[in-house]
């Protein structure tokens, strides 16, 4: 799953401009980037008179447009799709997803954009924010960047990503130990997700059973491969 950062703030504070700059910096670092924009007022992709418009007007629930360079999908929804579902279904192959909006969504890595010409007040509680991007000194007890501090901001985001990766790896190591499946390469523990643990366990048991060993009496299996 990709890492998700939500760029929040009031209208006209510079969220979209900031996101485009961050995208450029992330791409220079070799990362794949997805973007989701929350449109409160709705939007239209299929213009009246176009074939896609005719299909949706006729009652099609999904319309896919394909060219050499792009694929587009228009899908009719009866209710708003939750952000985690969107990320899982459409952005699973991305390294990072930048979200414009969704300020009310819980458990998001949020960075708020402030602009003194619009407002000096936060739209999110401070305890929900990782950082702010502002053209004035806020006095807040969280990380602050200027609107053009793109490199240090992306460095900060990558630091958050590295920290979350480390925490996930530790959880996988603990899960592997508790499920009885661990792997060491050159003496170093390798994190295993539950699916990989299950595959290794089942294959090992199948091989041992083929050797006519009484699998039901086994308590522990140790396999060493020296290269």
pLDDT tens series, the chain, 227 aa: 789 999 999 999 999 999 999 999 999 999 999 998 876 555 566 677 787 778 878 888 888 888 888 888 877 777 777 888 888 888 888 999 999 988 888 888 999 999 999 999 999 999 999 999 999 999 999 999 999 999 999 999 999 988 877 666 566 555 555 566 778 787 777 777 777 777 888 888 777 777 766 655 666 777 777 77
CB count, 10 Å around CB of 143?
Answer: 14
Residue 140: predicted pLDDT:
93
Q: How far apart are CA 103 and CA 113, in angstroms?
A: 11
CB count, 10 Å around CB of 137?
Answer: 7
Whether residue 121 sits in one domain with residue 191: no
Q: What residues make up the domain containing 193?
A: 179-227
Q: β-strands 143-145, 62-66: how paired?
A: unpaired
Whether residue 26 sits in one domain with residue 131: yes
Whether residue 116 sits in one domain with residue 40: yes
Whether residue 191 sits in one domain with residue 97: no
Q: Does the reported pTM lie above 0.75?
A: no
- Please count the residues of the chain: 227
CATH of the domain at 151: 3.40.50.300
Residue 124: predicted pLDDT:
92
| Inside any domain, residue 57 | no
Single out the residue in 162, 196, 211 at which a domain terminates: 162
| Inside any domain, residue 60 | no
Residue 171: predicted pLDDT:
60
| Inside any domain, residue 168 | no
Q: State the DSSP code for 81.
A: P
Number of domains in the chain: 2
Q: How far apart are CA 176 and CA 192, in angstroms?
A: 6
Residue 155: predicted pLDDT:
96
Q: How far apart are CA 201 and CA 2, in angstroms?
A: 28
Tell me the angle at which helices 15-28 and 150-178 cross, rounded to the nearest 10 degrees: 70
Residue 38: predicted pLDDT:
75
Whether residue 82 sits in one domain with residue 10: yes
Whether residue 190 sits in one domain with residue 82: no
Sign of CA dihedral 83, 85, 89, 92: positive
| Inside any domain, residue 90 | yes
Whether residue 112 sits in one domain with residue 152: yes
Residue 33: predicted pLDDT:
94
Whether residue 142 sits in one domain with residue 107: yes
| Inside any domain, residue 69 | no
Tell me the angle at which helices 194-210 and 150-178 cross, rounded to the nearest 10 degrees: 30
Alpha helices, DSSP H only, in the chain?
Answer: 15-28, 51-57, 83-90, 150-178, 194-210
Whether residue 184 sits in one domain with residue 212: yes
| Inside any domain, residue 103 | yes
The position carrying tokens 């480390």 is 166
Whether residue 191 sits in one domain with residue 133: no
| Inside any domain, residue 167 | no
Whether residue 136 sits in one domain with residue 205: no
| Inside any domain, residue 221 | yes
Whether residue 93 sits in one domain with residue 33: yes
C-beta of residue 135 within 8 angstroms of C-beta of residue 155: no
């Amino acid at each position: 799953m990709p890492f998700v950062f939500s760029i929040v703030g009031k209208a006209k504070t510079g969220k979209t401009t900031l996101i485009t700059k961050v995208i450029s910096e992330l791409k220079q670092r070799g990362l794949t980037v997805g973007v989701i924009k929350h449109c409160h007022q709705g939007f239209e992709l299929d213009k009246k008179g176009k074939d896609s418009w005719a299909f949706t007007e006729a009652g099609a629930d999904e319309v896919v447009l394909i060219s050499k360079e792009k694929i587009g999908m228009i899908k009719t929804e009866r209710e708003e799709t939750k952000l985690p579902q969107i990320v899982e279904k459409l952005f699973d192959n991305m390294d990072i997803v930048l979200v414009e909006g969704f300020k009310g969504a819980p458990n998001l890595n949020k960075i708020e954009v402030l602009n003194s010409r619009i407002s000096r007040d936060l739209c999110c509680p401070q305890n929900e924010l990782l950082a702010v991007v502002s053209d004035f000194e806020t006095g807040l007890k969280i990380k602050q960047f200027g609107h053009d501090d793109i490199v240090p901001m992306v460095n900060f985001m990558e630091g958050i990503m590295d920290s979350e990766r480390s925490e996930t790896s530790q959880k996988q190591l603990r899960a592997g130990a508790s499920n009885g499946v661990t792997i060491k390469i050159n003496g170093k523990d390798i994190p295993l997700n539950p699916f990989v643990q299950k595959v290794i366990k089942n294959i090992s048991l199948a091989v041992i059973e083929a050797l006519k060993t009484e699998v039901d009496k086994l308590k522990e299996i140790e396999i060493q491969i020296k290269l």
